[in-house]
Amino acid sequence: MVTLGDIDPGFGPDDDLRHRPEPGGRMRDSLFWELIMPDERLGMQVYLYLTDRGKTGYNVSVWGPDAEPLALKLEQGTVGDDMDLDNFEFRGLTVKQPELRRTAQVGYTSDEVRLQFDFTALHDAFSYRSNPDGLPSWFAANRLEQTGHVTGFLEVGDRRITWDRKGHRDHSWGTRNWGVPHHWKWFIAYTESGRVVNGWIWIARGEWGFAGYVVKDGVTVPVSHIKHHAEYHDDMTQKRLEADVVDITGETTRLVMDSYGTIKLPTRDPMGTVITEAACDVTIDGEAGAGQFETHWPGQYLRHLIESGR
């Protein structure tokens, strides 16, 4: 596994565990796993956060083309100071990381949905601090992205789906100021042959920034910039994304994402931020795959776009 570039990624061997703040400071970890299933017309994600004070919560989401998700399970509470992210349990959710930045085991059980999967990384964890634009401090202290192979199952409603396919995960740490960015697009796309494109496009304080990576022939290459165009439905949910992803070698990867289902996630921040996730059919340089396309909008601006017809 080779990652190109000479920018310090800024993480160490224990940075997939819970982080502690500097004296007088605050800290927040968030972990995320997703798996998109175009053949089933479904998307699935698990999002977990944990603060240095023990406040924790998660969402477990399964959605498809219908207006309402098949499942959206939300929990909040507290855990002890000794709880860590290599062996985590909270209200039906379990997370284990037998080999940090390489393997994970995630399980969840409720009345509406059950899932259990093993995640094995396809490449070394990639830090957004390794991109030429770096990682803005309003977003996180650091963020790791990693695509992998997933085996396991999902049970939702009367459906049981067995997994033996690609998926993705990330881990961010540090506090986040949701009100600074005007907008962002985040996406992950993968094919069963091992092609991967991850991208993050943000605009904040009037400036653009880009992050992400491309995996081709087993080599991970940081993104330099992304030329993109998005189309939306009348309610500003994602319809299509076309992107030319330019990496640090100058090579361009062509990505097309067509949404078949979206879900809006609660953030409850003062800006009324709206995060919408789209499960997508994708092509990477013409090769079919699966992917997820996320948008961030300040709530008041989003309402204006919808009401004005853009």
Question: HEC string of 6-66?
Answer: CCCCCCCCCCCCCCCCCCCCCCEEEEEEEEEECCCCEEEEEEEEEECCCEEEEEEEEECCC
Which CATH superfamily is 2-308 part of?
AttH-like domain (2.40.370.10)
**pLDDT tens-digit map of 237-280:** 999 999 999 999 999 999 999 999 999 987 778 888 999 999 99
Q: Is the pLDDT of residue 310 over 80?
A: no
Alpha helices in the chain (DSSP H): 299-308
Beta pairing, strands 2-3 & 219-232: parallel
How would you classify the pairing of strands 238-247 and 274-284? unpaired
pLDDT score for 309: 80
Task: Report the pLDDT value the prediction gives residue 82, as an integer from 0 to 100.
Answer: 96
Confirm if 210 and 201 have CB atoms less than 8 A apart. yes
- 149-190 confidence digits (pLDDT tens): 999 999 999 999 999 999 999 999 999 999 899 999 999 999
Report the amino acid identity of residue 19.
Answer: H
On the question of pLDDT at 138 being above 80, the answer is: yes
Q: Over range 62-91, report the average pLDDT.
A: 97
Evaluate if residue 219 carries a pLDDT over 80: yes
Q: What mean pLDDT value characterizes the chain?
A: 96
Please tell me the predicted confidence (pLDDT) of residue 19. 97
For residue 225, pLDDT over 80 is answered with yes
Q: Phi-psi category of 24—alpha, beta or left, where left has phi over 0 and alpha has psi -120 to 50?
A: left
**pLDDT at site 196:** 98
Q: Give the rounded distance of the alpha carbon of 107 from its chain centre.
A: 18
Task: Average the pLDDT over 287-310 and give the result.
Answer: 94
pLDDT at residue 200, as a whole number = 98
**Pairing of β 42-51 and β 181-190:** unpaired
If pLDDT is split at 50, 70 and 90, which confidence band does 25 have? Answer: very high
List Cβ neighbours of 17 (8 Å cut-off, separation of 6 or more): 84, 85, 86, 100
Domain-wise residue ranges, the chain: 2-308
Q: Could you give the C-alpha distances from 282 to 31, 197, 224, 253, in angstroms and in order?
A: 24, 11, 21, 13
Return the percentage of the chain with pLDDT > 90, whole number.
95
Residues with Cβ < 8 Å from 287, sequence gap 6 or more?
Answer: 191, 193, 195
